[in-house]
Amino acid sequence: MFAPTDSHYKAAIRALHYLKACPAQGLYFAVDSTLILKAFEDSDWASCLDTRKSTTGFYIFLGNSIIFWKTKKESTIIKSSSEAEYRVLASLACELQWLQYLFNDLHIPSSSPTSIYCDNRSTIYLAHNPISHEHPKYIEIDCHVIREKTQQGLVHLLPISSAHQLADVFTKSLWSRIFHGFISKLSLCNLHSPS
């Protein structure tokens, strides 16, 4: 809010127009949904032009319904796109581990491993490669978390093209057509006139 400009005003008006156009959007949970978890994650490395901090985000689906999502602007500057991807992957893996514990406590059978769709092929390669790579300490911990969860069979990283990465809704400024295309795949419905 410090020293707002005309571009900040236009961005705020755009967000308000979107919210006004869809006040009754809600999550839809189908009765016949499967108990299969899948997730989409993404980061937009150094996307903030003012601070060069990255934006990260992810969705977790149970069947075709969203059950968890998170987006955040990182608190520190991230030095590489791989580090940004590993940060969001490590956070996502911890959430998936918690969901696995919850399912076990509730005696709900869940399929393992959970598929995580990632559009950074080098991150997927490094996560599956057990050979130690030289990483600074700050990224090495996230690498070990992801590698451990992969070896334990909790998660399985799968490639996805950026054109199909649903988590881009959280991390990037998208063209209206692309944004609405992604939103249509998130099992949202109008609560005033459900169809």
Considering only CA atoms, which of 27, 61, 16, 31 is closest in space to residue 167?
61
Residue 52 has a pLDDT of: 84
Residue 96 has a pLDDT of: 93
How many other C-beta atoms lie within 10 A of the C-beta of residue 119?
20
**Preceding amide of 113 cis, omega within 30:** yes
Domain extents in the chain: 35-190
Residue 78 has a pLDDT of: 75
Angstrom distance (rounded) from CA 103 to CA 112: 12
CB 67 within 8 A of CB 60: yes
Mean per-residue pLDDT pooled into runs of 10, the chain (195 residues): 84 86 80 88 78 87 89 80 83 92 88 87 76 58 78 89 84 81 79 68
Amino acid at 77: I
Amino acid at 143: C
46: left (phi over 0), alpha (psi -120 to 50) or beta: left
User: Is the pTM value of this prediction over 0.75?
Assistant: yes
Amino acid at 36: I
Residue 124 has a pLDDT of: 82
Residue 126 has a pLDDT of: 75
CATH number of 35-190: 3.30.420.10
CB 188 within 8 A of CB 30: no
Residue 39 has a pLDDT of: 94
How many other C-beta atoms lie within 10 A of the C-beta of residue 167?
27
